[in-house]
């Protein structure tokens, strides 16, 4: 059965009709309407109606950033949209009919990797999505882990440095401050300030006015020692966090997605090193794989559609 997946991002809404193998049958994308929840809802309804024309659709899955309840219905809180205890599922079902489910966007992306991408051969997987922030998803025993209230797997807010840098969530020392794209730019800036191997970073920053992801990514790809050192620092923190997660979840595989993961082995190597340093009873514990995500930009829509299909199968 075909399902529709919708991924509401900060700048765009992406949608697609997705088949049972995770293939995209057709897709659409529009800019995210600024600010108000009513125009966002209408944009999503319009996209669903456009996508399902002449198409038998079994269910609709919507992914968005935020805390969403375990019943995949109510958005407790969203950071980018004015949603507070928003019954989004109910509202959408009333407007488009049929079954709609709502999930966290990082969970949807992780589920897509588990079903159709880098996690498809394991039963237990942790995914960390390294974008501007750090998103997380956990699959345990072939099931997406949501937690009792639905807001689990917020791995970006795992505390890695007690009393560390302030985080947007109101706490200090969260992984997001040490393992995100924003953290990489901060580390690259510190290396640029220090001179030495940071000279190319400092020159590029002076030419462009500030460091951004494309600039640091380009220097990493060119093998610049300052930019690679920044990436290694980032990988170190991610590897430490992975060791803590392993102690709790014991996954066979860690999957890294998001823009920074394009660095591939250059990122995975320091992650593995830090992981092994912090792994309890090293040598006695089977070691998980560390791999890069396979689905990239489509993961949100593919995962949202498949989670809707799973819901229908389990509630039939």
Q: Which of residues 95-134 bind Zn ion (CB under 5 A)?
A: none
Q: How far is CA 246 from CA 29, 73, 137, in A?
A: 37, 30, 13
Q: For residue 77, how many other CB atoms are within 10 A of its CB?
A: 14
Residue placing its CB nearer to Zn ion in the complex, 170 or 286: 170
Please choose, out of 154-162, 178-186, 213-221, 275-283, the segment that lies near Zn ion by the rule CB under 5 A.
154-162
Q: Which two tokens stand for residue 260?
A: 């920074």
| Contact between 306 and 22 (Cβ < 8 Å) | yes
Q: Which of 167, 242, 249, 299 binds Zn ion (CB under 5 A)?
A: 167
| Contact between 268 and 292 (Cβ < 8 Å) | yes
Q: How far is the CB of 25 from Zn ion (least distance, A)?
A: 38
d(CA 263, CA 268) in angstroms, rounded, equals 8
Q: Is 157 among the residues that bind Zn ion (CB under 5 A)?
A: yes
Q: How long a stretch of residues is the chain?
A: 316
Q: How far is the CB of 93 from Zn ion (least distance, A)?
A: 33
Q: Is 183 among the residues that bind Zn ion (CB under 5 A)?
A: no
Q: Is 174 among the residues that bind Zn ion (CB under 5 A)?
A: yes
Q: How far apart are the first and last CA of the chain?
A: 13
Q: Is 151 among the residues that bind Zn ion (CB under 5 A)?
A: no
Residue placing its CB nearer to Zn ion in the complex, 174 or 234: 174
d(CA 259, CA 232) in angstroms, rounded, equals 16
Q: How far is the CB of 133 from Zn ion (least distance, A)?
A: 9
Q: How far is the CB of 204 from Zn ion (least distance, A)?
A: 29
Q: How far is the CB of 162 from Zn ion (least distance, A)?
A: 13
Mapping DSSP onto H, E and C, the string for 112-142 reads HHHHHCCCCCCCCEEEEEECCCEEEEEEECC
Task: Of 112, 164, 81, 177, give the one whose Cα is nearest residue 309.
Answer: 112
Please choose, out of 75-83, 143-151, 169-177, 181-189, the segment that lies near Zn ion by the rule CB under 5 A.
169-177
Residue placing its CB nearer to Zn ion in the complex, 245 or 263: 245
Q: Is 169 among the residues that bind Zn ion (CB under 5 A)?
A: yes
Residue placing its CB nearer to Zn ion in the complex, 154 or 306: 154
Q: How many residues bind Zn ion (CB under 5 A)?
A: 5
Q: How far is the CB of 170 from Zn ion (least distance, A)?
A: 7
Q: How far is the CB of 166 from Zn ion (least distance, A)?
A: 9
Q: How far is CA 272 from CA 138, 230, 267, 279, 289, in A?
A: 19, 16, 9, 10, 9
- Adjacent-strand bridge partners of 60: 4, 100
Residue placing its CB nearer to Zn ion in the complex, 167 or 302: 167
Residue placing its CB nearer to Zn ion in the complex, 169 or 197: 169
Residue placing its CB nearer to Zn ion in the complex, 168 or 218: 168
d(CA 311, CA 59) in angstroms, rounded, equals 9
Q: Which two tokens stand for residue 111?
A: 């589920």
Please choose, out of 6-14, 21-29, 173-181, 293-301, the segment that lies near Zn ion by the rule CB under 5 A.
173-181
Q: How far is the CB of 246 from Zn ion (least distance, A)?
A: 21
For residue 66, report the phi and psi dihedrals to the nearest 5 degrees.
140, 180
Interacting residues toward Zn ion by CB under 5 A: 157, 167, 169, 171, 174
């Amino acid at each position: 059965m075909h399902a529709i997946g919708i991924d509401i991002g900060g700048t765009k809404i992406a949608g697609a009709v997705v088949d049972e193998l995770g293939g995209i049958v057709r897709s659409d994308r529009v800019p995210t309407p600024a600010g108000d929840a009513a125009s966002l809802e209408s944009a999503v309804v319009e996209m669903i109606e456009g996508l399902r024309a002449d198409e038998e659709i079994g269910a609709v899955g919507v992914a968005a950033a935020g805390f969403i309840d375990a019943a995949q219905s109510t958005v407790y809180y969203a950071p980018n949209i004015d949603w507070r205890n928003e019954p989004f599922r109910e509202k959408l079902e009333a407007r488009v009919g049929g079954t709609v489910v709502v999930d966290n966007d990082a969970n949807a992306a992780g589920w897509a990797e588990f079903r159709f991408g880098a996690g498809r051969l394991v039963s237990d997987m942790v995914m960390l999505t390294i974008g501007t922030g750090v998103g997380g998803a956990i699959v345990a025993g072939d099931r997406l882990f949501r937690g009792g209230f639905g807001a689990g797997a917020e791995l970006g807010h795992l505390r890695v440095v007690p009393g560390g840098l302030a985080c947007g969530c109101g706490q200090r020392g969260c992984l997001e401050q040490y393992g995100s794209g924003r953290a990489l730019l901060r580390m690259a800036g510190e290396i640029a300030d220090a001179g030495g191997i940071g000279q190319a970073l400092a020159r590029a920053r002076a030419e462009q006015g500030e460091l951004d992801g494309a600039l640091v990514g380009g220097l990493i790809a060119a093998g610049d020692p300052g930019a690679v050192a920044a990436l290694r620092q980032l990988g170190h923190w991610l590897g430490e966090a992975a060791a803590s997660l392993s102690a709790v979840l014991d996954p066979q595989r860690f999957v890294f997605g998001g823009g920074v993961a394009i660095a591939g082995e250059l990122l995975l190597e320091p992650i593995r090193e830090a992981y092994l340093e912090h792994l309890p009873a090293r040598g006695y514990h089977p070691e998980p794989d560390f791999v890069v995500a396979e689905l990239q930009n489509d993961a949100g829509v593919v995962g949202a559609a498949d989670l809707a299909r799973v819901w229908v199968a389990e509630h039939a």
